[in-house]
Amino acid sequence: GLPENNLLKSFSGDRERANSVAKIKVVVRKRPLNRKEIAKKEDDIITIEPNSNSLTVHETKLKVDLTEYVEKHEFVFDAVLNEGVSNDEVYSETVEPIVPLIFNRTKATCFAYGQTGSGKTYTMQPLPLKASLDILRLMHQTYRNQGFQLSVSFFEIYGGKLFDLLNDRKKLCMREDGKQQVCIVGLQEYRVSDVEAIREFIEKGNATRSTGTTGANEESSRSHAILQLAIKRSVDGSETKPARLVGKLSFIDLAGSERGADTTDNDKQTRMEGAEINKSLLALKECIRALDSDQGHIPFRGSKLTEVLRDSFVGDSRTVMISCISPSSGSCEHTLNTLRYADRVKSLSKGNNKRDP
């Protein structure tokens, strides 16, 4: 391995870099109008000025005399990505700056939030691949021969229950150890050493997501899919001794935000799932709020989702929320709901920056 002083030098460099990466970042991504929306002659109601981090929603409303008028809603975020922005650019804007930090004990989480069909999966799927490419590069170059290992796990939360997506949807349970650490009993974790292996695991996991009887998007939009990349290290570089966890990067494709409103559906199962989704998305917001306000107490127990993420929220953590929106007039209400949710997360993080310069 490297001499001790070199190692320390590289770690203090990491620390500087860590301080320059925002603790919470909220990004919005607008997808293009799709063929169906164009065929229905729906308007693009979202405008984004070039090189700005604000966007405007043009909502058409009716006056009492039934004449139309347009109400404008302006929002400002850390970054606003227009429909021309590529997945590579999304990666550079969101996850790329965080990757080096997880070699130095940071736990980072990237969420995709938005209504079904807004582009969450399209946005999320390439990110762990790109991240593992960078992680492996760092392992082979900067941190060469230092005993670092990369492993992957992939599971989903559906109706408040956990299922292993890399082990035939085996049902999993959680256990808390004495140090308030949460462990998912029986979750399969695979050590990987090349990007091809990661790609195969991601494809396998996606194919295993809840598809029920009604088709893929319908059911999977009611589950949260969680892919975790863990960096471990065997202290003396030994291949045989167990490695300890150093840092973690979680990618979460959240359930469709509109599913949280399924609480009046005729079907009892759908109602229950809707209530669970609503609870978890509210709990997620509350946890990020608590994270940011230095409250000490973080309400993890609000939902399964936040309980599972507990160890990613304590200590040196980073959170990136990518809110995905559809541009079409038909989605106006859902889009405004998504932007308001993102805005609440965002305005909280502004408060944090003031207190902690």
Which residues are part of a known binding site? Answer: 114-121
Q: Which stretch binds ligand ADP (CB under 6 A): 65-73, 110-118, 145-153, 164-172?
A: 110-118
Candidates 118-126, 182-190, 237-245, 338-346; binding stretch for ligand ADP (CB under 6 A) = 118-126
Is the Cβ of residue 317 or residue 331 nearer to ligand ADP in the bound state?
Answer: 331
Question: Which residue lies nearer to ligand ADP by CB, 109 or 317?
Answer: 109
Positions at the binding site for ATP: 114-121
Residue 116 interacts with ligand ADP (CB under 6 A)? yes
Asked whether 128 and 145 are in contact (CB, 8 A), the reply is no
Query: What is the footprint of ligand ADP within residues 9-48 (CB under 6 A)?
Result: 31-32, 34
Question: How far, rounded to the nearest angstrom, does the alpha carbon of residue 306 sit from its chain's CA centroid?
Answer: 12
Per rule CB under 6 A, is residue 212 in the interface with ligand ADP?
no
Give the other-Cβ count within 10 Å of 119's Cβ.
Answer: 21
CA distance 166 to 208: 8
- 121 near ligand ADP (CB under 6 A): yes
Residue type, 258: E
In the complex with ligand ADP, the residue whose CB is nearer, 10 or 34, is: 34
Q: Any contact of residue 86 with ligand ADP (CB under 6 A)?
A: no
Rule CB under 6 A: say whether 94 interacts with ligand ADP: no
CB of 24 to ligand ADP, least distance (A): 22
Q: What are phi and psi of 93, to 5 degrees?
A: -75, -25
Separation CA 87–CA 72 (nearest Å)? 28
Choices 101-109, 114-122, 269-277, 279-287; region in contact with ligand ADP by CB under 6 A:
114-122
Distances (CA, A) of 326 to 73, 132, 174, 277, 310: 15, 29, 35, 20, 31
* Whether 61 contacts 47, CB under 8 Å: no
Closest separation between CB of residue 173 and ligand ADP, Å?
27
Tabulate helix, strand, coil % of the chain (nearest 5): 40, 30, 30
Q: Is 335 in the site for ligand ADP (CB under 6 A)?
A: no
Q: Which one, 112 or 198, has the nearer CB to ligand ADP?
A: 112
Q: Which is nearer to ligand ADP, 129 or 314 (CB)?
A: 129
Please identify, using beta-carbon distances, which residue of 114 and 147 lies nearer to ligand ADP: 114
What's the Cα-to-Cα distance from 122 to each of 71, 135, 189, 253, rounded to whole Å? 30, 22, 24, 10
122 touches ligand ADP (CB under 6 A): yes
Of the candidates 82, 94, 104, 118, which one interacts with ligand ADP according to CB under 6 A?
118
Q: Is 119 in the site for ligand ADP (CB under 6 A)?
A: yes
- Residue pair 276/159 in contact (Cβ under 8 Å)? The answer is yes
Nearer to ligand ADP, 216 or 314 (CB): 216
- Of 46 and 102, CB closest to ligand ADP: 46
The answer to whether 320 and 106 have CB atoms below 8 angstroms apart is no
Angle between helices 126-140 and 195-208 (to 10 degrees): 150
Can you point out the beta strands (E) in 159-222?
Answer: 161-164, 170-176, 182-185, 190-192
Cβ within 8 Å of residue 133, ≥6 positions away: 195
Residue count, binding to ligand ADP (CB under 6 A):
13
Q: Does 334 bind ligand ADP (CB under 6 A)?
A: no
- Closest by alpha carbon to 287, among 273, 298, 272? 298
- Contact between 117 and ligand ADP by CB under 6 A: the answer reads yes
Residue 287-326 contact track with ligand ADP, rule CB under 6 A, x = bound = -------------------------------------x--
Binding site for ligand ADP (CB under 6 A): 31-32, 34, 114, 116-122, 221, 324
